[in-house]
């Protein structure tokens, strides 16, 4: 199992030391990896030693251009001087948990950026932020069920992740996968609590009628609707014009708490997140990833009347490391850097993302490869399909994710760190994009029909 696909080709960068480390890793770590979602078994990572700007370096001395950015987190790139200095300062002063002034400074900055937020709490991971938002929503409404959407990812809690819907008339998920579908396969796990799905309705996204129908029938039992405002975890689908507005109106009509999971879009889709971009305000928001530019931290925030349930102790929200001084130093440094000149850095990042997209589409056309790039400039998803647009999970069924997987493996072997999503950081340069496009050209040339991953 662990040895699958480790053959080295002419185009692969050297990997002797990484392979040796991987052999050691599988002896002590399942699959040698810290997360199944960081590639499946058989995937051999290049072990990184350090980073600078948009480039990472590994134990074999290879240089990688990074578009993964710690799964969307490292918005400032690697070794950012301001962030590094802030971490050093804080490590020298206090690196154990206590109430600290930086918590207030970080919270003030987050609230200044996220338009719907009046109060906030920090946590450590995205899944914790979503769980907290759901708990507040249940306490606020006195209802139990909630709605989420196929193709969206909110973290690895049993009920928050995965499932398939056998009967769309009664969209309660059950454990399972859809034949040929990469998303449900990735989200499948044994060992889930069996009745956990009884609190969930699972719908297709970008389908306001489906949500309206469900709320009409069962609105009295539904505490929350949770979604990624852009479906970045599968296909990079954008909301259809008017969709988010209709969801907002329906939630208001039925007294349902609308939660935007902005763990990926927050501080990536501009300084004010997807809600700022689309002008649609959720009741609660989950943040993570770019919030600390690679340092582990998350947050949930919302209106005063919701968050006051925590202040009064009606809702408990706890965590040993919530608001840890090192994370807080990272948040302050990150948001200060991103907010400079009114967030001007986003224009630069967006220009580079657009340059990459145009170049990639052009190269794919030259190689006769039908591809689609969806999402937004600082986070595009590349899909191998001749369809002009994909709006939700149902529309992604049948597209060639295997070909995409092969292509991204070829890119990894050429020193381009990307697993489907091209995230841009403040540190990327035009040179990074040009170098990437050269490697893309080479990888596309190698993407012969039926070729298999090489490492
Ligand atoms: C949109 C979204 N929400 C939540 C999460 C879970 O975050 P974490 O892995 O920090 O728990 C992720 C992680 O990829 C995500 O992309």
> What's the pLDDT tens digit per position in 19-69?
999 999 999 999 999 998 877 666 889 999 999 999 999 999 999 999 999
Beta strands per DSSP E along 55-113: 55-58, 63-66
Structural domain contains residue 68: no
Q: Mean pLDDT, to the nearest integer, of 72-92?
A: 98
Lowest mean pLDDT among 79-88, 189-198, 240-249: 189-198
The reply to whether 410 falls in a domain is no
**Which residue among 297, 326, 341 closes a domain?**
341
Residue at which a domain ends, from 341, 366, 392? 341
**At 40, is the secondary structure helix, strand, or coil?**
coil
pLDDT greater than 60 at residue 267: yes
pLDDT in tens, 89-120: 999 999 999 999 999 999 999 999 999 999 99
**H/E element, 211:** helix 208-218
> What is the 155 CA–ligand 1 centroid distance (Å)?
5
Task: Please indicate, yes or no, whether residues 286 and 140 belong to a single structural domain of this protein.
Answer: yes
Q: Which atom of ligand 1 is nearest to the CA of 127?
A: 11
What is the model's pLDDT at position 313? 97
pLDDT, tens only, 313-353: 999 999 999 999 999 999 999 999 999 999 999 999 999 99
State whether 128 and 212 are in the same domain: yes
| Sheet with strand 200-203: strands edge to edge | 119-123, 298-302, 284-287, 257-262, 222-227, 145-149, 200-203
What is the pairing mode between strands 222-227 and 257-262? parallel
Contact in structure between 448 and 408 (CB atoms under 8 Å): no
So what's the pLDDT on residue 449?
Answer: 62
Looking at the domain assignment, is residue 223 inside a domain?
yes
- Write down the pLDDT at residue 448: 72
- From 68, 153, 284, mutation site for ligand 1 pocket: most ligand atoms within 8 A of C-beta: 153
Which pLDDT belongs to residue 11? 57
Residue 38 lies in a domain: yes
| Ligand 1 midpoint to CA 288 (Å) | 7
Cβ partners under 8 Å of residue 226, min gap 6? 130, 133, 134, 146, 147, 148, 152, 154, 259, 261
Residue 153 CA to ligand 1 centre (angstroms)? 7
- At 243, which CATH number? 3.40.640.10
Which atom of ligand 1 has the smallest separation from the CA of 125?
Answer: 10
- Residue 430: Cβ within 10 Å count: 12
Query: pLDDT at residue 6 above 50?
Result: no
Q: Are 54 and 422 in contact (CB under 8 A)?
A: no
pLDDT value at 290 more than 60? yes
Same domain, 161 and 40: no
Three-state DSSP state, 92:
helix
Say if residue 1's pLDDT is above 70: no
Distance 122 CA to ligand 1 centre (A): 15
Q: How many domains does the chain have?
A: 2
Please tell me the distance from the alpha carbon of residue 244 to that of residue 276, in angstroms, as a whole number. 12
Ligand 1, CB within 6 Å, residue ranges: 71, 125-127, 130, 153-155, 228, 233, 261, 263-264, 288
Q: Give the rounded percent of residues in the chain with a pLDDT score beyond 90.
A: 91
Contact 147, 201 (CB under 8 A): yes
Structural domain of 232: 81-341
Whether the per-residue pLDDT at 397 is higher than 50: the answer is yes
309 close to 137: Cβ distance less than 8 angstroms = no
d(CA 154, CA 177): 18
Q: Can you tell me the mean pLDDT for 429-444?
A: 97
Give the tokens for residue 319: 């965590």
Same domain membership, residue 30 and residue 114? no
φ, ψ of residue 266 in degrees (nearest 5): -60, 125
Atom 3 of ligand 1, residue of closest alpha carbon:
154
* Cα-based distances in Å from 77 to 80, 263, 341, 428: 6, 17, 19, 7
Q: Is the pLDDT of residue 7 over 90?
A: no
Residue whose CA is at the smallest distance from ligand 1 atom 4: 154
The secondary structure of 267-311 as a DSSP string is TTSSTTHHHHHHT---SEEEE-GGGGTTSS-EEEEE-HHHHHHHH
**pLDDT band at residue 8 using 50, 70 and 90 as cut-offs:** very low
Maximum Cα interatomic distance, the chain, rounded to a whole number of Å: 63
Read off the pLDDT of each residue in 377-389 and give the average, rounded to a whole number: 97
The rounded Å distance from CA 34 to ligand 1 centre is 15
Structure confidence at residue 10 (pLDDT): 43
Which pLDDT score, from 0 to 100, does residue 41 have? Answer: 63
Phi-psi region of 8 (alpha: psi -120 to 50; beta: other; left: phi over 0): beta
161 and 99 fall within a common domain? yes
Residue 44: predicted pLDDT: 86
Are both 223 and 285 inside the same structural domain?
A: yes
Same domain, 248 and 158: yes
């Amino acid at each position: 199992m662990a040895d699958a696909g480790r053959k080295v080709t002419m185009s692969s960068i050297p990997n002797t030391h990484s392979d040796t480390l991987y052999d050691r890793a599988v002896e002590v770590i399942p699959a040698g990896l810290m997360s199944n979602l960081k590639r499946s078994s058989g995937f051999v990572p290049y072990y990184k030693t350090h980073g600078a700007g948009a480039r990472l370096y590994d134990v074999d001395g290879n240089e990688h251009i990074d578009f993964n950015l710690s799964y969307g987190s490292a918005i400032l790139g690697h070794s950012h001087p301001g962030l590094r200095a802030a971490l050093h300062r804080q490590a020298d002063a206090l690196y154990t948990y206590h109430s600290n002034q930086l918590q207030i400074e970080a919270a003030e900055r987050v609230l200044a950026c996220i338009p719907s937020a009046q109060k906030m709490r920090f946590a450590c991971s995205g899944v914790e932020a979503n769980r907290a938002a759901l708990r507040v929503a249940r306490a606020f409404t006195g209802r139990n069920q909630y709605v989420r959407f196929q193709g969206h990812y909110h973290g690895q809690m049993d009920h928050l992740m995965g499932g398939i819907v056998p009967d769309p008339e009664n969209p309660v998920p059950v454990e399972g996968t859809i034949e040929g579908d990469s998303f449900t396969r990735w989200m499948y796990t044994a060992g889930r609590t069996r009745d956990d799905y009884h609190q969930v309705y699972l719908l297709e996204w970008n389908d306001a009628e489906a949500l309206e129908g469900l709320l009409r029938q069962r609105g009295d039992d539904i505490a929350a609707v949770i979604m990624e405002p852009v479906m970045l975890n599968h296909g990079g689908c954008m909301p259809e014009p008017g969709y988010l507005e209709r969801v907002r109106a329906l939630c208001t009509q039925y007294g349902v708490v609308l939660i935007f999971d902005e763990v990926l879009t927050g501080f990536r889709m501009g300084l004010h997140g997807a809600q700022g971009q689309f002008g649609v305000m959720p009741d609660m928001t989950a943040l993570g990833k770019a919030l600390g530019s690679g340092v582990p931290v998350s947050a949930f925030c919302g209106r005063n009347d919701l968050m006051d349930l925590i202040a009064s102790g009606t809702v408990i929200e706890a965590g040993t490391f919530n608001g840890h001084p090192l994370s807080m130093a990272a948040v302050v440094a990150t948001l200060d850097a991103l907010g400079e000149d009114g967030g001007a850095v986003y224009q630069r990042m967006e220009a580079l993302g657009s340059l990459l997209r145009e170049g990639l589409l052009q190269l794919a056309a030259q190689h006769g490869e039908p591809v689609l790039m969806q999402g937004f400039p600082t986070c595009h998803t590349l899909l191998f399909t001749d369809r002009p647009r994909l709006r939700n999970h149902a529309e992604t069924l049948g597209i060639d994710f295997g070909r995409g997987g092969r292509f991204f493996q070829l890119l990894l072997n050429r020193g381009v760190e990307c697993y489907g999503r091209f995230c841009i950081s403040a540190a990327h340069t035009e040179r990074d994009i040009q170098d990437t496009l050269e490697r893309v050209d080479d990888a596309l040339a190698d993407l012969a029909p039926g070729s298999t991953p090489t490492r």
